[in-house]
Protein backbone atom coordinates (compact mmCIF):
# COMPACT_ATOMS: atom_id res chain seq x y z
CA UNK A 1 0.00 0.00 0.00
CA UNK A 2 1.18 3.53 -0.75
CA UNK A 3 2.10 5.52 2.35
CA UNK A 4 -0.25 8.38 1.38
CA UNK A 5 -3.25 6.03 1.43
CA UNK A 6 -2.48 4.87 4.94
CA UNK A 7 -1.83 8.32 6.44
CA UNK A 8 -4.23 10.17 8.68
CA UNK A 9 -5.90 13.00 6.74
CA UNK A 10 -5.37 15.80 6.22
CA UNK A 11 -1.73 15.15 5.45
CA UNK A 12 0.35 18.25 6.20
CA UNK A 13 3.11 18.78 3.62
CA UNK A 14 5.90 21.25 4.26
CA UNK A 15 5.97 23.30 1.04
CA UNK A 16 9.62 23.37 -0.10
CA UNK A 17 10.16 22.15 3.49
CA UNK A 18 9.28 24.43 6.39
CA UNK A 19 10.01 27.34 4.08
CA UNK A 20 8.59 30.00 6.36
CA UNK A 21 11.37 29.28 8.84
CA UNK A 22 14.30 28.02 6.75
CA UNK A 23 15.57 28.53 3.19
CA UNK A 24 13.22 26.78 0.77
CA UNK A 25 14.22 23.46 -0.78
CA UNK A 26 17.27 22.97 1.47
CA UNK A 27 18.06 20.11 3.82
CA UNK A 28 17.57 22.58 6.69
CA UNK A 29 14.00 23.26 5.53
CA UNK A 30 13.16 19.56 5.16
CA UNK A 31 14.71 18.67 8.51
CA UNK A 32 12.77 21.45 10.19
CA UNK A 33 9.46 20.38 8.63
CA UNK A 34 9.97 16.91 10.10
CA UNK A 35 11.08 18.32 13.44
CA UNK A 36 7.93 20.44 13.54
CA UNK A 37 5.90 17.26 13.18
CA UNK A 38 5.15 17.06 9.45
CA UNK A 39 5.21 13.54 8.03
CA UNK A 40 5.37 14.83 4.45
CA UNK A 41 7.02 17.54 2.41
CA UNK A 42 7.00 18.92 -1.12
CA UNK A 43 10.10 19.78 -3.14
CA UNK A 44 10.86 21.06 -6.63
CA UNK A 45 13.38 19.44 -8.93
CA UNK A 46 15.05 20.10 -12.29
CA UNK A 47 18.17 18.96 -14.14
CA UNK A 48 21.65 20.47 -14.16
CA UNK A 49 23.51 20.68 -17.49
CA UNK A 50 25.10 17.32 -16.71
CA UNK A 51 21.75 15.67 -16.05
CA UNK A 52 21.63 15.57 -12.23
CA UNK A 53 18.28 16.35 -10.59
CA UNK A 54 18.75 19.12 -8.03
CA UNK A 55 16.24 20.54 -5.60
CA UNK A 56 15.41 24.16 -6.38
CA UNK A 57 12.31 26.10 -7.33
CA UNK A 58 13.35 28.77 -9.83
CA UNK A 59 14.74 28.11 -13.26
CA UNK A 60 17.60 30.48 -12.36
CA UNK A 61 19.91 30.50 -9.36
CA UNK A 62 19.60 34.21 -8.66
CA UNK A 63 16.79 34.50 -6.10
CA UNK A 64 17.73 31.73 -3.67
CA UNK A 65 21.52 31.37 -4.03
CA UNK A 66 24.61 33.53 -4.40
CA UNK A 67 24.94 32.33 -8.01
CA UNK A 68 23.43 33.58 -11.24
CA UNK A 69 22.14 32.05 -14.44
CA UNK A 70 20.05 29.04 -15.41
CA UNK A 71 20.22 25.84 -13.39
CA UNK A 72 20.14 23.77 -16.56
CA UNK A 73 23.20 25.53 -17.94
CA UNK A 74 25.38 24.83 -14.90
CA UNK A 75 27.12 21.63 -13.95
CA UNK A 76 26.23 19.92 -10.69
CA UNK A 77 29.71 20.60 -9.28
CA UNK A 78 29.38 24.30 -10.01
CA UNK A 79 26.01 24.42 -8.24
CA UNK A 80 27.52 22.64 -5.24
CA UNK A 81 29.86 25.61 -4.77
CA UNK A 82 26.93 27.93 -4.14
CA UNK A 83 25.31 29.06 -0.94
CA UNK A 84 21.54 28.49 -0.81
CA UNK A 85 20.95 29.74 2.74
CA UNK A 86 22.49 33.18 3.21
CA UNK A 87 19.89 35.06 1.17
CA UNK A 88 17.18 33.77 3.49
CA UNK A 89 19.14 34.50 6.66
CA UNK A 90 22.78 34.62 7.68
CA UNK A 91 21.94 31.90 10.22
CA UNK A 92 21.62 29.48 7.29
CA UNK A 93 24.82 30.33 5.46
CA UNK A 94 26.47 27.21 4.12
CA UNK A 95 23.26 25.44 3.09
CA UNK A 96 23.62 23.85 -0.34
CA UNK A 97 21.29 23.25 -3.26
CA UNK A 98 20.69 19.56 -2.49
CA UNK A 99 20.73 16.83 -5.07
CA UNK A 100 17.44 14.93 -5.25
CA UNK A 101 19.14 11.64 -4.47
CA UNK A 102 20.62 13.05 -1.25
CA UNK A 103 17.22 14.26 -0.08
CA UNK A 104 15.53 10.96 -0.91
CA UNK A 105 18.20 8.94 0.85
CA UNK A 106 18.03 11.08 3.97
CA UNK A 107 14.46 10.17 4.88
CA UNK A 108 13.35 6.97 6.47
CA UNK A 109 10.40 4.82 5.63
CA UNK A 110 7.62 6.81 7.25
CA UNK A 111 8.11 10.11 5.42
CA UNK A 112 6.05 10.94 2.33
CA UNK A 113 7.77 13.03 -0.33
CA UNK A 114 5.97 15.02 -3.02
CA UNK A 115 8.36 15.56 -5.92
CA UNK A 116 7.27 18.39 -8.21
CA UNK A 117 8.84 17.83 -11.65
CA UNK A 118 9.80 21.34 -12.59
CA UNK A 119 11.23 21.11 -16.09
CA UNK A 120 8.96 23.93 -17.22
CA UNK A 121 11.75 25.60 -19.18
CA UNK A 122 12.92 22.38 -20.83
CA UNK A 123 9.74 20.30 -21.02
CA UNK A 124 11.19 17.70 -23.34
CA UNK A 125 14.22 16.89 -21.24
CA UNK A 126 14.84 13.58 -19.45
CA UNK A 127 13.87 14.74 -15.95
CA UNK A 128 10.82 12.51 -15.57
CA UNK A 129 12.59 9.34 -16.63
CA UNK A 130 15.67 10.08 -14.52
CA UNK A 131 13.63 10.85 -11.40
CA UNK A 132 11.38 7.82 -11.82
CA UNK A 133 14.37 5.51 -12.23
CA UNK A 134 15.98 7.04 -9.14
CA UNK A 135 12.85 6.55 -7.02
CA UNK A 136 12.47 2.99 -8.27
CA UNK A 137 16.07 2.10 -7.60
CA UNK A 138 15.75 3.44 -4.05
CA UNK A 139 12.54 1.41 -3.68
CA UNK A 140 10.59 4.50 -2.74
CA UNK A 141 7.73 4.26 -5.19
CA UNK A 142 5.30 3.61 -2.35
CA UNK A 143 6.07 6.87 -0.57
CA UNK A 144 6.50 9.38 -3.35
CA UNK A 145 3.82 11.49 -5.02
CA UNK A 146 4.96 12.85 -8.38
CA UNK A 147 3.32 16.14 -9.32
CA UNK A 148 3.67 18.57 -12.20
CA UNK A 149 1.85 21.27 -14.09
CA UNK A 150 3.08 19.54 -17.25
CA UNK A 151 0.67 16.78 -18.34
CA UNK A 152 3.44 15.29 -20.47
CA UNK A 153 5.48 14.45 -17.38
CA UNK A 154 2.59 12.56 -15.82
CA UNK A 155 1.85 10.80 -19.08
CA UNK A 156 5.44 9.52 -19.26
CA UNK A 157 5.34 8.42 -15.62
CA UNK A 158 2.13 6.49 -15.99
CA UNK A 159 3.31 4.82 -19.13
CA UNK A 160 6.67 3.82 -17.66
CA UNK A 161 5.33 2.85 -14.25
CA UNK A 162 1.57 2.42 -13.84
CA UNK A 163 2.04 2.14 -10.06
CA UNK A 164 3.49 5.66 -9.76
CA UNK A 165 1.27 7.95 -7.68
CA UNK A 166 0.70 11.05 -9.78
CA UNK A 167 -1.00 14.36 -9.03
CA UNK A 168 -1.74 17.00 -11.60
CA UNK A 169 -0.97 20.53 -10.44
CA UNK A 170 -3.57 22.95 -11.65
CA UNK A 171 -3.50 26.71 -11.96
CA UNK A 172 -5.40 29.15 -14.11
CA UNK A 173 -8.45 29.77 -11.94
CA UNK A 174 -11.72 27.91 -11.89
CA UNK A 175 -12.16 27.55 -15.72
CA UNK A 176 -8.62 26.15 -16.00
CA UNK A 177 -9.38 23.76 -13.20
CA UNK A 178 -12.59 22.50 -14.75
CA UNK A 179 -10.98 22.04 -18.15
CA UNK A 180 -7.90 20.25 -16.83
CA UNK A 181 -9.84 18.05 -14.54
CA UNK A 182 -12.14 16.93 -17.34
CA UNK A 183 -9.48 16.39 -20.00
CA UNK A 184 -6.59 15.12 -17.92
CA UNK A 185 -8.25 12.95 -15.30
CA UNK A 186 -6.54 9.79 -16.54
CA UNK A 187 -3.11 11.29 -15.77
CA UNK A 188 -4.07 12.02 -12.19
CA UNK A 189 -6.73 9.48 -11.32
CA UNK A 190 -6.28 9.36 -7.55
CA UNK A 191 -5.12 12.79 -6.42
CA UNK A 192 -5.33 16.34 -7.66
CA UNK A 193 -3.34 19.39 -6.45
CA UNK A 194 -5.36 22.58 -6.97
CA UNK A 195 -4.34 26.01 -5.70
CA UNK A 196 -6.18 27.49 -2.72
CA UNK A 197 -8.07 30.09 -4.75
CA UNK A 198 -9.99 27.58 -6.88
CA UNK A 199 -11.10 25.27 -4.08
CA UNK A 200 -14.57 25.42 -2.64
CA UNK A 201 -16.74 22.93 -0.79
CA UNK A 202 -18.45 21.84 -4.01
CA UNK A 203 -15.16 21.02 -5.71
CA UNK A 204 -14.01 18.90 -2.76
CA UNK A 205 -17.34 17.05 -2.67
CA UNK A 206 -17.23 16.48 -6.43
CA UNK A 207 -13.65 15.17 -6.40
CA UNK A 208 -14.42 12.86 -3.50
CA UNK A 209 -17.50 11.60 -5.28
CA UNK A 210 -15.26 10.77 -8.23
CA UNK A 211 -12.81 8.99 -5.94
CA UNK A 212 -10.04 11.57 -6.04
CA UNK A 213 -8.17 13.04 -3.08
CA UNK A 214 -7.52 16.78 -2.96
CA UNK A 215 -4.24 18.27 -1.69
CA UNK A 216 -4.37 22.07 -1.72
CA UNK A 217 -1.48 24.55 -2.07
CA UNK A 218 -0.25 26.88 -0.62
CA UNK A 219 -2.21 27.12 2.61
CA UNK A 220 -0.54 29.35 5.17
CA UNK A 221 -3.29 31.21 6.96
CA UNK A 222 -5.22 29.47 9.74
CA UNK A 223 -8.60 30.67 8.52
CA UNK A 224 -8.19 29.05 5.10
CA UNK A 225 -6.76 25.93 6.69
CA UNK A 226 -9.72 25.64 9.05
CA UNK A 227 -12.20 26.02 6.20
CA UNK A 228 -10.46 23.40 4.05
CA UNK A 229 -10.25 20.97 6.95
CA UNK A 230 -13.99 21.42 7.56
CA UNK A 231 -14.59 20.62 3.89
CA UNK A 232 -12.60 17.43 4.32
CA UNK A 233 -9.59 18.08 2.07
CA UNK A 234 -7.00 15.33 2.17
CA UNK A 235 -3.82 17.38 2.26
CA UNK A 236 -2.57 20.88 2.97
CA UNK A 237 0.68 21.98 1.36
CA UNK A 238 2.02 24.75 3.58
CA UNK A 239 5.13 26.87 4.17
CA UNK A 240 4.21 26.71 7.86
CA UNK A 241 3.76 23.12 9.00
CA UNK A 242 4.21 24.19 12.61
CA UNK A 243 1.31 26.67 12.50
CA UNK A 244 -1.03 24.29 10.69
CA UNK A 245 -0.21 21.34 12.96
CA UNK A 246 -0.85 23.53 15.99
CA UNK A 247 -4.21 24.46 14.53
CA UNK A 248 -4.99 20.77 14.18
CA UNK A 249 -3.87 20.19 17.76
CA UNK A 250 -1.15 17.77 16.62
Residues recognised as catalytic: 15, 57
CB-wise, 117 or 132, nearer to ligand G3P? 117
Rounded least distance, CB 27 to Mg ion, Å: 17
Which of 174, 125, 120 is closest to 148 using CA atoms? 120
Q: Which is nearer to Mg ion, 44 or 234 (CB)?
A: 44
Tell me which residues in 166-225 interact with ligand G3P (CB under 6 A).
169, 193, 217
For residue 17, give every residue at least 6 positions away whose Cβ sits within 8 Å of its Cβ, in sequence order, or none: 24, 25, 26, 28, 29, 30, 31, 32, 33, 41, 43
CB of 193 to ligand G3P, least distance (A): 6
Angle at 17 between CA 89 and CA 246, to 5 degrees: 100
Rule CB under 6 A: is residue 21 a binding residue for ligand G3P? no
| CA 171/CA 177 separation, integer angstroms | 7
Query: Interaction with ligand G3P in 24-53: which residues (CB under 6 A)?
Result: 42, 44
239 lies in the binding site for ligand G3P (CB under 6 A)? no
Find the Cα–Cα–Cα–Cα dihedral 141, 147, 151, 155, rounded to 10°: 0
Is residue 158 within 8 A of residue 166, CB to CB? The reply is yes
Helices (H), the chain: 3-6, 27-35, 76-80, 100-106, 127-137, 151-160, 173-183, 201-209, 222-231, 241-247
- Measured from the CB atom, is 134 or 167 closer to ligand G3P? 167
- Residue 44 makes contact with Mg ion by CB under 5 A: yes
Shortest approach of Mg ion to residue 249 CB, angstroms?
27
Nearer to ligand G3P, 15 or 96 (CB): 15
Sequence length of the chain is 250
Residue 212 binds which one of Mg ion, ligand G3P, none, with CB within 5 to 8 A depending on kind? none
Binding site for Mg ion (CB under 5 A): 44, 116
Binding site for ligand G3P (CB under 6 A): 15, 42, 44, 57, 116, 147, 169, 193, 217, 237
Amino acid sequence: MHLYDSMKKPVIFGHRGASRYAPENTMAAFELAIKQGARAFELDTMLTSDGIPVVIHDHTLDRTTNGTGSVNQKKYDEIQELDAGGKFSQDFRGEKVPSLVDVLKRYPQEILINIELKNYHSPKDELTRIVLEMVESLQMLDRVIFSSFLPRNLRILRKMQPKAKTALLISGGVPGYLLSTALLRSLSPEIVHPPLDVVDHRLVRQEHKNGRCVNVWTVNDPQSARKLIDWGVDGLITDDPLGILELLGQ
